[in-house]
Structure 1
């Protein structure tokens, strides 16, 4: 599994350096054993430098998850490359959703958090939407609206359609491993997700 964060050509900001240090800590020892003091040590700055940016680890984690998964999802979405005149096809949006789900499932930070500290994910499933989720919903709603304008995507509230797709994707991100075995492969599950999303958004797949 590889990181999606590091680009040796672009000089990153001090904030990104601090977030990289936090990311490395979490990968090494997990969330519970990561402190702002340790983040500062790894980043090579004073503890007060980190405290001036984040008041606690929960706040830092929010920024880290937004950066990590926001960047990841943005680079896998179908907003890149479809014909604006023709509009995005349901299959193109489904391609983007399946890519995002697959890459997120394999993201080393996500895997580490789910393995060691799954309770960190629960608030974003049970209580509130996070910034990364809002970003994903915004991207999907925009591309769905573009498809509705050209007739390639079925009518309906684009925000409701986007949220339905994201709710379905949650299960494929978090629980696909429980459904994959000798009878059903991960690739077959991803194919079912693709069919689900494409059928949901197709003009022929709407309410009768």
Structure 2
């Protein structure tokens, strides 16, 4: 995942076009020619910003994942602690990620695209999520609702937990067993987060 290159990428027609292509045929079958055609630009215009489809998809994933994460953050209210906001946001975020059509398509068709960011290195979206988590944790330390610990360690530990629930949850669910549904696991995630963060 590479850093977003332009501040206006939230409404970038090229990223919208690559999203449509990936949803239609997957990453491996998406070409720069297809993306250029959908976006109404030349291939040379794309090559000036992205050397290949994978870098283009990397920027798309960064945009989409940050959008999901920020969209899942609950509204701040004076009667809610930072810990409540973190826990609610992470549980809602996992549910939103799992329902997102792009992550579903990639997991189903091109799962190897995610492996470097699970096994080898952090990507731009993970760095952005760590920054969001770190900000929330600092607020939780300040209001006394979050157990004191090094912020970097806490943020990375939380991200490891929610990544596993996001990417691996379906390997553990059994929707025919009321104790093992997706909703039941999200409840267990909430308990894990509450207990690890409570002072």
Q: TM-score, normalised by structure 1?
A: 0.86
Distance 2:115 2:64 in 1: 18
Q: 1:177 aligns with which of 157, 170, 184?
A: 170
Residues 71-82 of structure 1: pairs in structure 2 closer than 5 A: 71-78=67-74, 80-82=75-77
Flag as ranges the 4+ runs of structure 1 deviating above 6 A: 12-15
Q: 2:61 aligns with which of 55, 65, 83?
A: 65
The residue aligned with 1:148 is: 141
Q: 1:46 aligns with which of 14, 19, 42?
A: 42
Cα deviations by residue, 1:33-84 (Å, 9 ceiling, x for unpaired):
1011110011111111111111111211111011011111012124x4143x
Residues 109-128 of structure 1: pairs in structure 2 closer than 5 A: 109-128=102-121
SS of structure 2 residue aligned to 1:75: helix
The residue aligned with 1:7 is: none
Cα root mean square deviation, aligned: 1.7
The residue aligned with 2:23 is: 27
Larger relative helix fraction:
2
Contact 1:93–1:198 (8 Å) recurs in 2: no
Cα deviations by residue, 1:140-189 (Å, 9 ceiling, x for unpaired):
11111111012111111011111111101111101111211122111110
Shift of 1:90: 2.5
- Unaligned 5+ segments in structure 1 are 1-11, 204-208
Shift of 1:117: 0.3
Q: TM-score, normalised by structure 2?
A: 0.90
